[in-house]
């Protein structure tokens, strides 16, 4: 092989490489955009933006924005946790070296299998706990017990004086102690108000009710 032929082959290969490089450079574009949700148009942060069948790509920032160098005709895959995957093919007829996109992602509902958590680690312990379990009362028995408790609470509330009455009684006792300080306090047997209360209680039959309760006990 002559030197002239070698020089010819060298320059031919160099020209082919330069032409191919120019062609590839013309196909490169700056691919930018933002990824948002389809319902609220909120940004989807940290979405994977990958060129399919390659390791090239990027990830959106906190505001859903991305930008990287791609080629015309590339198939772009968008994927994020909780959203359906989306694909977009960059047009190969672009006349500019820049392209922008607003990619909408739709939420993906994931159905998980039911998981039942039991407090017993083994079947034997469950069997022991089940056999030792006390059966609940019937609805009627529970209702009767609740009514009895409610009636008892109502009686206790009715029997206990109110805060105003307790304060008034305490103040009267305190005033009596100050008024009769240094002398014998009067006996209620000579108090006409006490006699009036006694006669009214006797007419109302309060003493009969107390006597019946005492006989019943």
Q: Which residue has the tokens 């196909």?
A: 27
Please give the structure tokens belonging to residue 85.
Answer: 């995957």
Q: How many Cα atoms within 13 Å fall on the side-chain side of residue 110?
A: 5
pLDDT of 187 above 70: no
Give the tokens for residue 81: 């946790």
The answer to whether residue 215 sits within a structural domain is no
In a domain, 13, yes or no: no
Q: Which two tokens stand for residue 91?
A: 């047009």
User: What's the average model confidence in pLDDT over 132-146?
Assistant: 75
Q: Pick the residue with more confidence: 121 or 24?
A: 121
Provide the pLDDT for residue 147. 79
Question: For residue 197, is pLDDT > 80?
Answer: no
Identify the residue with better confidence: 74 or 149: 74
Average pLDDT for the chain? 77
- Give the pLDDT of residue 189: 59
DSSP letter at 41 equals -
| Residue that finishes a domain, picked among 105, 138, 164 | 105
| Per-residue tokens: 205 | 């039959």
Beta-strand ranges (E) seen in 90-149 are: 98-105
Same domain, 86 and 143: no
- Quick check: is 47 in a domain? yes
Per-residue model confidence (pLDDT) at position 53: 82
By C-alpha distance, which of 99, 48, 55 is closest to 78? Answer: 48
Q: Are residue 127 and residue 64 in the same domain, yes or no?
A: no
Q: What is the CATH number of the domain that holds 36?
A: 2.60.40.1120
How would residue 31 be classed by pLDDT, with cut points 50, 70 and 90?
Answer: very high
Residues 137 and 190 in one domain: yes
Residue 116 resides in a domain: no
Both 133 and 190 in one domain: the answer is: yes
In a domain, 17, yes or no: no
Domain count, the chain: 2
Of 74, 105, 136, the residue at which a domain comes to its end is 105
Domain boundary among 56, 76, 105: 105
Domain that holds residue 89: 27-105
Q: How confident is the model at residue 116 (pLDDT cuts 50, 70, 90)?
A: confident
- List Cβ neighbours of 37 (8 Å cut-off, separation of 6 or more): 43, 44, 83, 104, 105, 106, 107
Average pLDDT over residues 62-69: 94
Same domain assignment for residues 67 and 101: yes
Q: Are residues 146 and 86 in the same domain?
A: no
Question: Does some domain include residue 140?
Answer: yes
């Amino acid at each position: 092989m002559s030197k002239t032929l070698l020089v010819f082959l060298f320059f031919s290969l160099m020209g082919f490489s330069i032409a191919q490089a120019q062609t590839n450079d013309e196909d490169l574009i700056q691919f930018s955009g933002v990824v948002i949700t389809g319902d609220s148009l909120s940004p989807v942060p940290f979405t994977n933006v990958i060129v399919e069948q390659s390791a090239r790509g990027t990830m959106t920032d906190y505001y859903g924005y991305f930008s990287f160098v791609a080629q015309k005709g590339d198939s772009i895959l968008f994927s994020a946790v909780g959203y359906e995957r989306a694909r977009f093919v960059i047009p190969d007829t672009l006349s500019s070296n820049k392209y922008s996109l607003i990619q909408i992602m739709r939420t993906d509902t994931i159905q998980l299998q039911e998981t039942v958590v039991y407090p017993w680690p083994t079947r034997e312990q469950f069997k022991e706990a089940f056999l030792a379990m006390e059966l609940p009362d019937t609805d009627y028995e529970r209702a009767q017990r609740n009514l009895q408790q409610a009636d008892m609470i109502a009686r206790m509330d009715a029997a206990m004086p109110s805060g105003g009455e307790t304060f008034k009684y305490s103040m009267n006792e305190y005033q009596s102690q100050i008024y009769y300080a240094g002398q014998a306090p009067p006996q209620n047997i000579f108090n006409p108000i006490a006699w009036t209360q006694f006669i009214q209680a006797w007419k109302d039959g309060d003493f009969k009710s107390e006597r019946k309760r005492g006989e019943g006990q």
